[in-house]
Structure 1
Amino acid sequence: FAFLVPSVNFQGPMERYEWVLLPQGMKNTPTICQYVVHSALIRVCSDYTKIMISHYMDYDILLCASDESQSKKCLPLFTKCLEIYGLKIAPEKIQSALPWKYLGWKLTENWISPQKLTTENSIQTLNDLQKLLGTINWIRPLLGISTETLSPVFDLLKGNSNLTSSRQLNPEAYQAL
C-alpha cells in the first residue's frame, strides 16, 4: 500500500511511502485495504460472474462457486490478480476441503456452525490480551454481549503498544468476562 506525504508548504517533492502491512488504528485502514483488494479483483469478477467473492475487513477473502471445479478454475487468476497488487495468499490459508472455516464459522454443504472456541485466560502481555479479545469478538454477537459490557477489558489495551508489554486482568475486567 503506497501513499504520498506533501512537504511543508510544498517546498519540495512529495515523499512516497509504502507499507507492507497497513498500520492499525488509522480510521481509514479498512477502507484503503478494501479498495485495493476490490481493484485487484475486478478482472476476476468480470471473468467469473457466477463466483461470489466476499472480502471482510483486511484479511479474509471467501471465494465460492456452485461447484468445486469453477472455484479451482478461478483460483490461479484470483491469486495472480492479487499478486499484481503486491498481495500474497499464504498457501496454507487456502481451504479447498470441507469444512471451511471463515470468520469464526465452520461451513459445510448443509450447515453452518460456530467454530470450536478455546480461550486463554492467563493474560500477561498485550499480545495475550489481543488474542483473547479477538476470540471474544467472534462470539460476542452470538451471545448478545455488547462492547460496552466488555469495556473494562478493552480499556486494558490502552497504554504501551509494545506487544510484549505487561498486562493483567483487573477485578473489573474479570467481572466483565
Structure 2
Amino acid sequence: MDRFIIISGCSGGGKSTLLEELSRRGFSVIEEPGRRIVASELAGDGTALPWVDAEAFLLRAIALSLEDLERARALPGLVFFDRGLLDAASGLGEMTGEPVLRRYGDEWRFNPTVFLTPPWPEIYRQDAERQHGLEAAIVEYERLLRDYPALGYEVVELPKISVAERADFVLDRLRRSGLTS
C-alpha cells in the first residue's frame, strides 16, 4: 500500500486545505471520515458525535475508514487520506485501553511516510463540526506523534508555509522516495 499516503496531525492545522490542493492537481483524495460522520449526525438526530458519544463516533470512523480503504484499492496512482483508520484506532485505543491501534496497524499498512500538520494557532478555527478547542487538538496531535512511529511509520511534520508550497513539499518528498515522477 505504498501508494496510500496519510495526511494527519493537529485539527485545524491545514490538512483539508492541503488535500483540496492535491485533489486540484489530479490526485485521488479520501475525505476525513470524522467530518463526514459529524455532518451526517448533525443533519439527523444522531448521537455518534465526538462531544456526545466519542466511542460510538470512533467506531463509526473505523467502519467508514475500512469502507474507504476498499474503495481506494480501485483508484489509480497515489491516494491521499485525510486522517482515517489509524487516527480513529489511535483515539479508540486511548479511550478504551484496548489494543485497537496495534490490530489495525498490523492489518493495514500505508506508505511508510506519514505527513503530520503541526499545531498552528494562527489558522485554527472552531466550527459546527470542530467543537473542541486548540488545547484538545494539541493533545490529539501529541498522541498521533507518539502512535505513528510506534507502528513503524516515519513522521514528517509539514512546515507552516502556503498551501501550494505544502503540496510541493509533500510531492517532492514522495518523488525522492520514487513514488511520483
TM-score normalised per structure 2 = 0.26
Greater RCO, CA 8 A, separation 6+: 2
TM-score normalised per structure 1 = 0.26
For the pair shown, the structure with the greater C-alpha radius of gyration is 1
Q: Which has the larger helix fraction?
A: 2
